[in-house]
Structure 1
């Protein structure tokens, strides 16, 4: 009877789980290390909470309640770890990329705290409120700090060539190059492109960007196995129908090869994208661009409060910088330059002077040093017009501190596209003018992504991404990354 049933399968092979690949074994070890660290942080938080409750005079202490706190700690730790696992905080796709990992840690912590509170209430369990506050007040920051440190270490491993995900990209040559350029640019993500699969009509040995062609989309599964790929990325034009996609998914079952689909969308944040299945058809809904939100009252209040606080904190440093500039050549402290603000309105942008006093007059004499001769911006890594003090303050972006006054005046924002010169704007393509829909920023995605090392196209892409996907959370993230960007020498000239 079993033989008869086997004949009805028409030769189809039942999927069998394959041994873990070297890459996946590394991921499993990473997940185990992160989970072990989480457990140590939680145990430390429960122990510190028990010790702190008995030591701090703000809490009333009794021996009975201390005994209760010590006995309940292991159960809180066990429940907390279960919540972290249940919230998928150890899922491979969320480790080291995006903010979902942090969100899941916060969700698991909140669920654990809520469950402990509910159980204590329903069972009239005498759990000290001081202990409860200390456990989660210490545990959550500790977990987030631990996850951040792990993420930094994983990114370092990726840049050193370890724990890399071997990627095969399938689709038309131009789309393969688009995806490859992103993965190669963001090397910290840990993707290593091992080859491309092109439609049979495109008979090439390599794409225009140099990705080797290892097969056609008709023989995708065999090529993926031969290249020992960990991830197959399907771009536009990869497969002619959904049935082909389903067949490839069946053939890859059990082989630990992930599949990813790149839709015909780019530079759209995850916050604007939602997926809703309709009759088995996955519809991707894309929210409207957020340039209007970046010009409204909440962002303006954020700028006013933030710029005022930063100006007060940075005032001593600004005074020292001003004195150093004056002592070097007795010239003016500030450099005032006309820039283009929101909707094309001109304003006077303030900076600490970092060049000789007649720098504008000498511009024609150093034009041959422009590293971006074909672009809109003037970039010279060794500009002789820069003074000794100017080179130092540019190195740490101190020359831009006076722009906090521009932010308070409403000409600029703390975060936004770089303020452009009128001569630059006159050369803008129509789509680039969208950068002017929001106030220019003291810092921005361009600042935390390479500064002057960025090409003009990359600068435009980052600025347009910011305009279209603005959010307060993104502003806070950029401000947090700015400090790290300014203490590195990369792109600071």
Structure 2
């Protein structure tokens, strides 16, 4: 019954995530497409009027010795105009509703567009006068400003009704939440729409963030500021999943969690791995390894941070990469896998493959497959062998000269051939080609909040631990490598790890 309820919860979470991403993609695409078409139209109207008044409608390309159709020339100029506006950030979701930033960026885009158009005319050797080009973009700029004024009215009006905005969960102290809600109510140009709040505080004994349960009167404060009531969430490890179930796209942190702290870093990783944007209302903030954007809105600095590798597009790239690499590896290594399986079978007549439950993405158990490198009853003797070597079961059990390892097993471990069947796990999606090594439940139970972030990515066949010394690394070094990978992985970086793995197989170290 419990497993069925968990499956239903995961299904609802997946549906909420899909709905959230599709709704955001739809309105962003539709709004930006509409603005792009209107901006191009404004320039075409302005340019056609200027050229008609100046009697410069006959356009000829001396480069190719052919006349150019006026409509085609105006369309090319309009496309260059839209590209330049995009380059300066005019179509950013926050800018589209902010007249102050928008007009400044439009002017900047117009200057660049004039230079680009002059370059195009020079390359094509079109005899358009500089005066005509400048006047076209000046009047095009003015028309675009007018058009954007009315579009801004429509956008801000739509945001009041919940459209064209990012559903936001506000996290912080009760005072910080109230200030943030008041700020968002005054800044209509920002597309943050509060859908829930999550009061938190620091535990003075441990220094860790915990839920603030003393929230008497908070609902009234929210109602006084917003004019309506919104849900009050209870902070916990499932915060990101709960936020997604509310169709939130952004988490706004007001205070309590300090930048560069373990509290904030682990919180940000959990949220961003669910493709939630982190926004901080602060005078200065920074998180190393994250992309940051800073905007000053009427004297208030807003910084947004994100890990781009957790975007849907990046995650799709990694999945495709895993499928392609796993398929190639399976085909290429098939003869080797057959030979290894035969060698294992001949040594002690036991099964060639070894299956064990490991903990994968977000703490979900899965079955890992390896070539068996230990005797059949090895798992039952782990605690005994660890005790003999003066170790306890935990996150980093490292036993040199483990008596449970077979002769064939010692060789395939040193050369990493025992990991080859895991390409099937990567192919079906329970693992990734590159990532932190998968561990067992008792090891996961020993994680602190920082090290637990390694569960935010799929475990890998190879990764930073495998190519950096393996069991010769200290516990602190191993943890730093895994957490660092979670924050900075990329497909190109994964390719580098694969090449480094080949080198490790040729010159193995730390494998036992």
The bucket for the TM-score relative to the shorter chain is: 0.3 to 0.5
**TM-score if structure 2 supplies the norm length?**
0.43
**TM-score if structure 1 supplies the norm length?**
0.44
